[in-house]
């Protein structure tokens, strides 16, 4: 039996689409594209909304680590400055020929320096990528800029200290004997900053250790090179470190308030 196709059957031969068919096809295609656009827009909007808080959390953690290290650096610089003074008084004494261990102790500690281990990955990314725009609080943006400035100043001061310290180390290498100097290698940054007792170090300080050169000129040259670092160290401890801690603390408070961080 021959099957007759109805006129409205689109599968039938010679079927002709009318304007309604084209309209509905266009409408369905348009709605599919439009819904896809809306979904993508909503996803992007959600990501854009979450990103400032993610930056805030990361920045908050970085600042916490910075302030902890700055406080340790302040303790350390204060301790080293006192040791430099002790060294100057020690080499100015009438006779220290029987106190070589004490000389090694003062020379080693007075030659050390502390570099703040900055956690600036988030801040640098915000600045370099232009993503500071996510932070709409103008006070927060201003203080971040101020904090970035003070950290750069501290780094520059560290460079000054490093250059002056290098000169002191050249004198130290001409005074001490390496194998004896290394006997004090167990002194850690924390030992210095916190003034911790170390029985091995205490025993070495009371041991007479020989030196290569103990002339007054050489010892004074070494001491003077370290004394040149004291102004920079003092500025770090009393001026720049406290300012950086103050700014970091204020920024953390703003971040907590703005983004409800815990």
**Of 161, 154, 177, the residue nearest 247 (C-alpha):** 154
Using N-to-C axis directions, what is the helix angle for 100-111 and 138-175, rounded to 10°? 150
**Domain carrying residue 166:** 21-259
256 neighbors 100 (Cβ within 8 angstroms): no
CA dist list (Å): 9 to 1, 13, 17, 23, 29: 19, 9, 10, 17, 21
Who's near 182: CB < 8 A, 6+ residues apart?
none
- pLDDT confidence of residue 204: 79
DSSP 148-166: HHHHHHHHHHHHHHHHHHH
**Chain centroid to CA 152:** 11
How many Å from the N-terminal Cα to the C-terminal Cα in the chain?
80
Domain presence at residue 3: no
Domain presence at residue 188: yes
- pLDDT confidence of residue 1: 46
Domain presence at residue 117: yes
Who's near 193: CB < 8 A, 6+ residues apart?
72, 73, 75, 76, 79, 114
62 neighbors 120 (Cβ within 8 angstroms): yes
- pLDDT confidence of residue 43: 46
Number of domains in the chain: 1
Confidence of residue 202 (pLDDT cuts 50, 70, 90): confident
**Of 67, 75, 84, the residue nearest 191 (C-alpha):** 75
109/182 Cα distance (integer angstroms): 12
For residue 84, give both structure tokens. 């430099």
CA dihedral 73, 227, 112, 70 (to 10 degrees): 10
Domain presence at residue 175: yes
- pLDDT confidence of residue 29: 73
- pLDDT confidence of residue 142: 95
Q: Mark out the alpha helices in the chain (DSSP H runs).
A: 19-91, 100-111, 121-129, 138-175, 178-181, 189-194, 199-205, 216-227, 230-235, 241-259
Domain presence at residue 120: yes
- pLDDT confidence of residue 93: 77
232 neighbors 161 (Cβ within 8 angstroms): yes
For residue 164, give both structure tokens. 């002056």
- pLDDT confidence of residue 241: 97
**Which residue would you say has higher pLDDT here, 229 or 33?**
229
56/256 Cα distance (integer angstroms): 8
Q: Is this structure's pTM higher than 0.85?
A: no
Domain presence at residue 49: yes
12-64 tens-digit pLDDT: 555 566 766 666 666 677 766 766 665 565 545 555 557 888 899 999 999 99
150/113 Cα distance (integer angstroms): 19
Domain presence at residue 6: no
């Amino acid at each position: 039996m021959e099957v007759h196709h109805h006129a409205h059957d689109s599968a039938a031969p010679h079927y002709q689409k009318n304007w309604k068919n084209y309209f509905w096809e266009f409408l369905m295609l348009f709605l599919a594209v439009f819904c896809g656009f809306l979904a993508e827009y909503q996803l992007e909007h959600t990501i854009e909304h979450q990103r400032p808080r993610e930056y805030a959390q990361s920045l908050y953690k970085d600042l916490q680590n910075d302030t902890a290290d700055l406080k340790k650096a302040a303790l350390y610089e204060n301790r080293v400055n006192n040791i430099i003074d002790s060294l100057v008084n020690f080499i100015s004494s009438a006779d220290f020929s029987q106190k070589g261990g004490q000389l090694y102790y003062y020379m080693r500690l007075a030659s050390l320096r502390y570099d703040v281990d900055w956690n600036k990955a988030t801040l640098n990314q915000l600045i370099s990528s232009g993503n500071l725009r996510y932070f709409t609080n103008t006070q927060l943006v201003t203080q971040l800029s101020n904090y970035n400035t003070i950290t750069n100043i501290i780094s520059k001061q560290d460079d000054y200290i490093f250059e002056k310290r290098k000169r002191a180390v050249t004198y130290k290498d001409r005074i001490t004997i390496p194998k004896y100097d290394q006997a004090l290698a167990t002194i850690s940054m924390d030992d210095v900053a916190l003034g911790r007792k170390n029985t091995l170090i205490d025993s070495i300080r009371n041991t007479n250790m020989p030196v290569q050169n103990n002339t007054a000129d050489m010892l004074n040259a070494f001491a003077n090179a370290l004394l040149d670092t004291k102004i920079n160290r003092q500025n770090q401890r009393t001026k720049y470190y406290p300012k950086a801690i103050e700014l970091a603390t204020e920024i953390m408070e703003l971040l907590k308030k703005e983004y409800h961080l815990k």
